[in-house]
Chain A
Amino acid sequence: MSATASAIRAVAWPLLGVAIVLGVWQIGVMVSGVAHYLLPPPSAIARAMWESRDMLTAAMGRTALGAAIGFICAAAAGILLGSVIALIPLLRRSLYPLATVLQMVPVVAVAPLLQLWVDNGLPMAILSAAIVALFPVLAATIDGQASVDPGLRELFKLYGASPLRRWWKLDFPWSVPATVTGLRIAAGLAVIGAVVGEFVSGYGGTRAPLGIVIQAAMRDARTDLVFAAVALTTVVGFALFGAISFVGWLLVSRWHASAVNESEDQR
C-alpha cells in the first residue's frame, strides 16, 4: 500500500467514527424530543458556532495562547528538573516521591491560591496550565532517563565518560521517546489547566477566552454556545497534541521501535 493511501486510511477511520457519533446524536435528539437547552443537536451547535464565529475565534486564540505558553514553560521545567533529578540519585530518591504526591493535588483546589501569586487573566491561565502539564513531562523524563539500557551505560563506563557527558550523549537522547509521550499527555492537560485558570480568574469583556465564554453562555442558558466553546477547547488541545506528535515523529521516527511498529501496523 502506498504512503498516500495509508495516510488517507489513517484519517478516514477516525472521521467515519466522528460522523457516526454525530449522526446518532442528531437523530437521537430529534426523535426523543429532548429540550435543546438540555441537549442541543449537533446542527444547532454548528449554527451557534457559525453565528458567533468572530467572538469564538478570538476566544480560542486567547485560550490557545495561555495553554501554549503554559505548556512550553511546563515542558522546559519538566525536562530540566527531570534531567537533574534523574542524574542525581539522591534527588531521585528524595524529590520524585514528593513530586508524585504534589501532582495528586487538583489544580481546581489550589487555583484560588494561585490568584494570590499572579495577576488574573492570562498569567493565571498560563500558571494553571503549567502546573497541570508539569508532572507528566517530569515523570516521563525521569523514567526515560532511568531506563537506559544497562549495557549502553557499561559501554560509556568503559570509555571513561563523565556523568555529564554520559547524560548528554546517552541518557538524554535515550529518553526522548518517553519524554515525547509525556509531552503529548501534557499538551491535552495544558488546555484543561488553562480553562480552569480562566474559570477562576474570570476575566472577560472583549478579551474573554473560551473558559469565560462557557461560563457566560451557561448563565444565559445558551447550551449550544457552551457546546461550541467546549468543542473549540478540544480543537486547541488537539492542535497542541498534533504539533507535539509531529515534532516527536520528526525526532524519533527513524530509529525508535514505537514509530517503526506503528508504521508496520498501518500496513
Chain B
Amino acid sequence: MGQRTPLYDLHLALGAKMVDFGGWDMPLHYGSQVEEHHQVRRECGVFDVSHMCVVDVSGEQAQAYLQRLLANDVARLQTPGKALYSAMLNEQGGVIDDLIVYLTEEGYRLVLNAGTRDKDLAWMHAQTAEFAVEVRERRDLAVLAIQGPKARARVAELVTQARAALIHELKPFQGLPEGDWFIARTGYTGEDGLEIVLPVTEVVSFLNDLVGAGISPIGLGARDTLRLEAGMNLYGQDMDEQVSPLAANMAWTIAWEPAARDFIGRPALEVQRAAGCPSKLVGLVLEERGVLRAHQVVRVDGIGEGEITSGSFSPTLNKSIALARVPAATGDRAEVEIRGKWYPVRVVRPGFVRNGKTLI
C-alpha cells in the first residue's frame, strides 16, 4: 500500500483504476484515459495532484537562499503573485528536480514533484546552514489542477465571489492567495487552467462540488499524454540527476545573469556551455501506425544514436509522439527501433499541441 491523498476514497467511488506512482496510490484513469485527454482539450477536467510537495520558504535571507539553490533567479520575481519554472541542480550540474516557485507576501512557495519529495527536502534543509531561512513542508495542504479552455469559467461558478474575482483577474503564470486558498494560473497540460492549493480539510468537499457540477475527473494516464503533447518534461524520465538541463530542453530556465550569482551547479554548467552540450532533447513524430516508447533507440544517419525518454500515443494528433535525447547535430529526420524494425520519424522542437491547436 502506497501513500494516499485525502481523495483516495473519492477516487475509488468515482470508478478509478488505481496505480502506484512514486510510492503513491493514484488514479490512472476513471474508465478511458483517451476520453479524459480529449475532455481536457475540449472543455476541462480536474486532476488530484495532492501527492506533489508544497514547501514554503521564508526568513530574512529567503531570496539569497533560493538564489543559491535554484538555477533560475528568484530575484526576477518582483511582485507577489509572480512565478517561474526552475531546475534545482547538484554540484555536477545534474537535475535534482524541476519545480515552480511563486513569490508570496511571506516569502516563496515551491511546488516539487511527488517522487522526489524526500530527496528534495533533505537537500533543501542541508543548504539552509549558511542562511537565515525557514523551509517548511506544508503537509496540511492539498492541490487540485483544473485544466482546459473552460476551466477558469467553470471553477469561478463554484467558488466564493472573492475567489471568482481573483480567478478572472489572474494572468498566466500568476498565483495569489484568497483566504487560505492559493490559486495559480499554471498547469501541466498546455491548456489554460488553474492549480489550487487548499487545506486538506476542504479538498474532498471541493472535488465533490467540481465533479457534481459535471467536471470530469482526470487520471495520471491522460496527465502524461497531455503534458507530452505540450512538450513538458517529466522528471525521472526526461531528465534525472545524471542529466544536464542543457540536454533536457531546459537551457532557457538557466539565469546566467547576473554573472556573480553563484548558484549550485553553476561552475559545472559553465564548463558544459563552453564545450557545447553533446546532446539535446527533441520531439519525435511517427507518421505511421505504431507507438513510440521510452528507451527505444533513435538512429541518426551519419551522426550517431540517441534514446527516447518519453513516448506515447497522442490522442489529439492521433499519432505517436515522443521526447528523445539525441546528438546535438541531429537534423529533422531520424529512425526509431520498435520491436526489431526501424521506422522513420520527424524530428521537431518539443511541443506538439498548445491551447488545443497543433504546432507541428
| Chains A and B belong together in one complex | no
